[in-house]
Amino acid sequence: MRLVIDRVSKVYRGGVSALAGFSLDLGPGVLGLLGPNGAGKSTLMRIVATLTRPTGGHVTWEGRDVASQPDAVREVLGYLPQDFGVYPNLSAVEFLEYLAAAKGLEPRAARRRIEELLELVNLGDARKRPLGGFSGGMRQRVGVAQALLNDPRLLIVDEPTGGLDPEERVRFRNLLSELPGERIVILSTHIVSDVEAVATDIAIIARGRLVAHQAPEALLHSVEGRTWELVLPSAELPALRQRHLVSGTMRRGDGVQARVIAAEAPGPGARPASPTLEDAYLDVLARERAGATA
Partner 1 sequence: MSAAVGAVSPRRAAHLHVLLAIARADFLERVRRYGFLITLAVAAWGAHGALPPRGAGYTTVSLDGHRALYNSAGAGSIVALITGLFLTLVGFYLVKNAVERDRHTGVGQILAATRMGRLTYIAGKVLSNAAVLFAMLGVMLVVAAVMQQVLGEDRHVDPWALALPFVLLAAPAMLVVSAVAVLFEVVPRLRGGLGNVVFFFLWAWGLATAVPESVIRLPIGDAVGMTVVMPSLEQACARTYPDYHPGKGRTAGINFSPRAHAVTPFAYPGVRWTPSLLAQRLAWVAFAALLTVLAAALFDRFDAARAAPGRHTRRRARAPAAGEPAAEAAEAAGTRGSVAALTAVRRSERFAPLLRAELALLLKGQGRWWYAGALALALVCLFVPLAGVRGVALPLAAIWPLLAWSSLGWRETRHGTAALLFSAPRPLRRQLLATWLAGVLLALAATGTYGLRVALAGDLGSLSGWLAGVLFIPSFALASGVWTGSGKLFEVGLLALWYVGPLQHVPALDFLGAVPGARAAHAAFFALALALLALAYAGRARQLRG
Q: Which of residues 21-50 bind partner 1 (CB under 8 A)?
A: 46, 49-50
Alpha helices in 148-276 (DSSP H): 166-178, 192-196, 216-221, 237-243
User: Which of 54, 59, 53, 56 shows the shortest CA–CA distance to 26?
Assistant: 59
Instruction: Kindly state whether residue 69 participates in binding partner 1, applying the rule CB under 8 A.
Output: no
63 versus 107: smaller Cβ distance to partner 1: 107
- Given 26, 39, 99, 192, the residue binding partner 1 (CB under 8 A): 99
Round to whole Å and give the CA distance between 105 and 127: 20
Class of residue 120 by CB neighbours under 10 A (exposed 0-12, middle 13-18, buried 19+): middle
With contacts defined by CB under 8 A, name the span among 17-25, 119-127, 193-201, 268-276 that binds partner 1: 119-127
DSSP 8-state code for residue 134: -
Round to whole Å and give the CA distance between 256 and 254: 7
Instruction: Kindly state whether residue 93 participates in binding partner 1, applying the rule CB under 8 A.
Output: no
Residue list 212-271, contact with partner 1 (CB under 8 A) = none
138 versus 195: smaller Cβ distance to partner 1: 138
| Other residues' Cβ atoms within 10 Å of the Cβ of residue 109 | 10
With contacts defined by CB under 8 A, name the span among 17-25, 57-65, 129-137, 265-273 that binds partner 1: 129-137
- Given 1, 11, 20, 175, the residue binding partner 1 (CB under 8 A): 175
CB 9 within 8 A of CB 57: yes
CB 39 within 8 A of CB 17: no
With contacts defined by CB under 8 A, name the span among 16-24, 178-186, 210-218, 254-262 that binds partner 1: 178-186
Q: How many residues bind partner 1 (CB under 8 A)?
A: 71
CB 129 within 8 A of CB 149: no
- Given 7, 21, 98, 292, the residue binding partner 1 (CB under 8 A): 98
With contacts defined by CB under 8 A, name the span among 109-117, 204-212, 220-228, 259-267 that binds partner 1: 109-117
Instruction: Kindly state whether residue 104 participates in binding partner 1, applying the rule CB under 8 A.
Output: yes
